[in-house]
Amino acid sequence: MAVIHARHALLPSGLACNVRLTLSAGTIATVETGAAPLPGDERHEMVLPAVGNVHSHAFQRAMAGLTELRGPSADNFWSWRREMYRIGLNMSPEHVEAVAAQLYMEMLEAGFGRVGEFHYLHHDPSGVPYADPAEMALRIAEASRTVGIGLTLLPVFYAHADFGGAPPLAGQRRYIHDVDGFASLVARCEAIVAELPGGVCGVAPHSLRAVTADELAAVVALSAGPVHIHAAEQVAEVERCLAQTGAPPVQWLLDNTPADGRWCFIHATHIDADEVRGIAARGVVAGLCPITESNLGDGIFPAGAFLEAGGRIAIGSDSNVDISLRRELRTLEYSQRLSQRARNVIAHPGGSTGQRLLHEASCGGAAAIGGMAGIAPGAPADLAALDMASVPWLPADKALDHFVFAGGIGVDTVWCGGVRRVEGGRHVQRDAIEARFAAARHDLMRHDPL
C-alpha cells in the first residue's frame, strides 16, 4: 500500500493542510488531514486530483500545428474539417496507436488522469470495415494501456452528412455505420475496455447532423454508460437545425431525448438563456474544449451564467492541438473575461479562480466519463503533484491560481490508478513512446505533407 503525504492537497471541501493518503488496489483508501508525515511516506508539497479529459479525437494530434496557414479565402471550421478528413484518410491502425500513445502520454504529463475518446475513425481508408471491425478501437485501448491513462471509450455513430438523413460525403467513409453494424461495434468495445483497468465504455452519436432522431434513440439504448454528443459548436449548424427541426440543437436534445446526468453535450457553444437553464436543470455536463474552440473560431460558451444556474462543466482537448490542463482552464476563464469585460468570472465571490476551475473540471470530468471525483476515500487514485520548487515564496492559497495563470509551476508527478506514470514532469516511458510517434509522423508526412 503506497502512502502519500501532501503538505497541501485540493480536497472536495477545498485546500487542506498535511494530508495523508493511502492508496490501495488503484483507489484512495483513506484521507487523513492534519496528519504528520511518517517514515516511508512519499512526500509532496501540493497534490490535486488528476482531471478527466472528457473529449478527445486522438488521431487529430497528428495534424497539430499544421493547419495554421491561411487559405485562398477566409478560413473557418469547415475548411479546417476538410484538412482533418484528409489526414484521417491516410492513417493506418499502427499510425493511430502511435499517435494516441504520444497524446495520452502528454495528457498525463499535463495533469489529466483519464481520457474520453470520442472515437470515429473506424474503417480502412476505402471505407470497408477491418477484419476485426473494432481494429481501431483496439489500437486506442492498447495506446491507453501502454501509457497507463484511464480510458473511457466512446465509439461514435456517424451515418449522415447533414440534417434530414443526407448521405455521407466521400471524405467521411471511414466513420460510417448503420445501427446494426454499430451495435456489434459497441459490443466489441465493451469487451475491449473490460480488459483494461478502470476501463469504461459509452456511446457517442456524433451530432444531430450525423444521426436521425430514430437512429439517436437506437444508439442511446445500446449502452448503460456515458452518452456524448457534439452540439451547437457552429452557428451554421444551429441555423440548419433550426430550419430542419424548428429548434436549435441543444433545445431539440432537451425536448426529444432523456438527456440527464449520463449525458455530456460537447461544446454547447451557441445557446440561449433557456438552454443554459435547461442543461443545468437536467444535470447534463457541458463538455467544454476552450483551446480547440479558440483555435477553430467556434465562439464562447456562457460559462459564468451556466455555473450560476448550477450547471456542471468539464474540459476536453478535442482536436488535441495543444495538450495542457492549465491552458485549457486559463483559456476558459479568459474567454469569459473578454466577452464580459470583467475579471475572475468563474470564481465564487471572494474565492480563487484557479481553485474553482480545477474543482469544477474535476467533478464534471468524473461525472462525464465515469468514476468518482476528487481526493476522497473510494475514488480512483488518479492524482497530480505540482512542482513547487521554483516558487518557495508562494503562499499555498495562491498556488492554484499561479499554476493556472502564471505558468511558473509545472506538474511533477502523476499517478493513475495508484501507479506512478509521470516523474519529474516526464512520463516514465517517454523516450520510447516519442520515438514511435516521430516515426509514424514522418511516415504520414511522406503521404501527405499537409
List, by residue number, the catalytic residues. Answer: 267, 318
Burial class (CB in 10 A: 0-12, 13-18, 19+), 331: buried
Structural contact between residues 328 and 318, judged by C-beta atoms closer than 8 angstroms: no
Task: State which residue has the least CB distance to Zn ion.
Answer: 318
Burial class (CB in 10 A: 0-12, 13-18, 19+), 76: middle
Strand order from edge to edge, sheet including 2-11: 27-32, 14-24, 2-11, 42-49, 383-387, 410-416, 419-423, 426-427
Residue 210 C-beta: closest distance to Zn ion, Å: 12
Residue 267 C-beta: closest distance to Zn ion, Å: 7
Structural contact between residues 374 and 363, judged by C-beta atoms closer than 8 angstroms: yes
H helix intervals, 160-271: 179-194, 213-220, 235-245, 249-256
Report the DSSP beta bridge partners of residue 48: 384
Phi then psi for residue 62, to 5 deg, are -65, -20
Task: Kindly list the residues in this chain that would bind Zn ion in the complex (CB under 5 A).
Answer: 318
Query: Given the complex with Zn ion, which of 4 and 231 has the nearer CB atom?
Result: 231
Residue 6 C-beta: closest distance to Zn ion, Å: 34
3-state secondary structure of 382: coil
Separation of alpha carbons 175 and 128, rounded Å: 10
In eight-state DSSP terms, residue 172 is: G
Residue 388 C-beta: closest distance to Zn ion, Å: 34
Place of cell 466489441: 188
Query: Given the complex with Zn ion, which of 332 and 347 has the nearer CB atom?
Result: 332
Place of cell 430550419: 243
Structural contact between residues 191 and 199, judged by C-beta atoms closer than 8 angstroms: no
Residue 289 C-beta: closest distance to Zn ion, Å: 7
Structural contact between residues 132 and 168, judged by C-beta atoms closer than 8 angstroms: no
Query: Given the complex with Zn ion, which of 156 and 189 has the nearer CB atom?
Result: 156
Contacts (Cβ under 8 Å, ≥6 apart) of 376: 11, 12, 28, 31
Length of the chain as a residue count = 450
Residue 408 C-beta: closest distance to Zn ion, Å: 31
Separation of alpha carbons 241 and 245, rounded Å: 6
Amino acid present at 354: G
Residue 43 C-beta: closest distance to Zn ion, Å: 39
Query: Given the complex with Zn ion, which of 80 and 163 has the nearer CB atom?
Result: 80
**Cα angle 95-100-106, degrees, rounded to a multiple of 5:** 135
Separation of alpha carbons 20 and 4, rounded Å: 6
Residue 126's Cβ-side half-sphere holds a number of Cα atoms within 13 Å equal to 3
Task: Give the per-residue SS3 of 244-273.
Answer: HHCCCHHHHHHHHCCCCCCEEEEECCCCCH
Residue 209 C-beta: closest distance to Zn ion, Å: 12
Query: Given the complex with Zn ion, which of 97 and 318 has the nearer CB atom?
Result: 318
Structural contact between residues 267 and 55, judged by C-beta atoms closer than 8 angstroms: no
Query: Given the complex with Zn ion, which of 318 and 382 has the nearer CB atom?
Result: 318
Residue 42 C-beta: closest distance to Zn ion, Å: 37
